[in-house]
A = this chain, B = another copy of it.
């Protein structure tokens, strides 16, 4: 069932069918009605490949996710679903591609094979090989997180620096004097992963500004690691009364360790940070924290990409999101 068949049944030429569907040229009301009727009867849909070939665009975007090996955090996973939903609203399909290691072929297929019109690149590093590849291939892309040369690209990011600084000031305002940052894994920080880097910067700057005694360390993305992290931390610095975390995967372990060590939240120790809403609410007691607005980020990323596709050549745009800190019940003045 192709456009020729529709044309035949409606008694018009193929081009007329195309125009009736796209509206790019006028078609008389009677003819259009007849054509639409036939289309509806037989359930016709233009062949996506043929259309893509003729139009020179695929109406699909690529979403490059971190490789499957490394567990995706719930934030990232929710983000994928939200991107698909946002793209769907704009009649765009989403092609998924892992990146890194053995998956580079998939990335190359997508990019060089012109399978997609543009790409959303998740979890970008300050220096990022994939971003460089896209740039040199001339494929429009929007990064989640920003690269070292932030000014030249399109990106959406969270203001981790500002948010973590707000958390620190919140603790300082409550009277805390000795605090600690629970960062993402060391390898992410070392490889120049923006959020880890900037969280650290924001933490140190804000702590220094308020003259707090502060330590920052990394913790693997796992509950078990969170548990030992807390044990080690409180053994080394028993005076810590405020915790700031951007590591949501470690939260269940943090909660367990604090409970086991008899440190009640928030009576003995306050906990805050930047984590997905879901995780903030599952913590006991619910975390006072900046909720990562994944749905918002997904929507903005797709919006930026759609805009860039529609009007190539416009100067790069970017979005830095700074959601408010949701007051729940995990912070209080120190004992």
Total copies of the chain: 2
Which residues in chain A, 252-289, are within 8 Å of chain B measured between CB atoms? 252, 256, 278, 282, 284
**Contact (Cβ within 8 A) B112 A96:** no
A60 near B: Cβ within 8 Å? yes
Give residues in A with beta carbon < 8 Å to B: 43-50, 52-53, 58, 60, 63, 65, 67-68, 71-72, 74, 77-78, 80-82, 84-85, 88, 91, 93-98, 102-103, 105-106, 108-110, 112-115, 223-224, 252, 256, 278, 282, 284
**Contact (Cβ within 8 A) A95 B93:** yes
> What are 7 A-B contacts with C-beta separation under 8 Å?
A46-B113, A49-B50, A72-B77, A72-B78, A85-B98, A85-B103, A94-B96
Q: How far is the CA of A269 from the CA of B8 in the complex (A)?
A: 72
Instruction: Return chain B residues, CB-CB under 8 Å to A223.
Output: 282
**Contact (Cβ within 8 A) B96 A80:** yes
Which 4 residue pairs spanning A and B have beta carbons closest together? A45-B112, A49-B52, A68-B81, A77-B77
Instruction: Return chain B residues, CB-CB under 8 Å to A74.
Output: 74, 77
**Contact (Cβ within 8 A) B82 A68:** yes
Q: How far is the CA of A109 from the CA of B284 in the complex (A)?
A: 44
Give chain B nearest CB distance to A119 CB in angstroms.
Answer: 13
Instruction: Return chain B residues, CB-CB under 8 Å to A81.
Output: 65, 68, 72, 98
Instruction: Return chain B residues, CB-CB under 8 Å to A46.
Output: 113
Instruction: Return chain B residues, CB-CB under 8 Å to A47.
Output: 53, 113-114
Q: How far is the CA of A47 from the CA of B65 in the complex (A)?
A: 23
Q: A47-B114, A53-B53, A112-B43 are in contact. Are A95 and B60 (CB under 8 A)?
A: yes
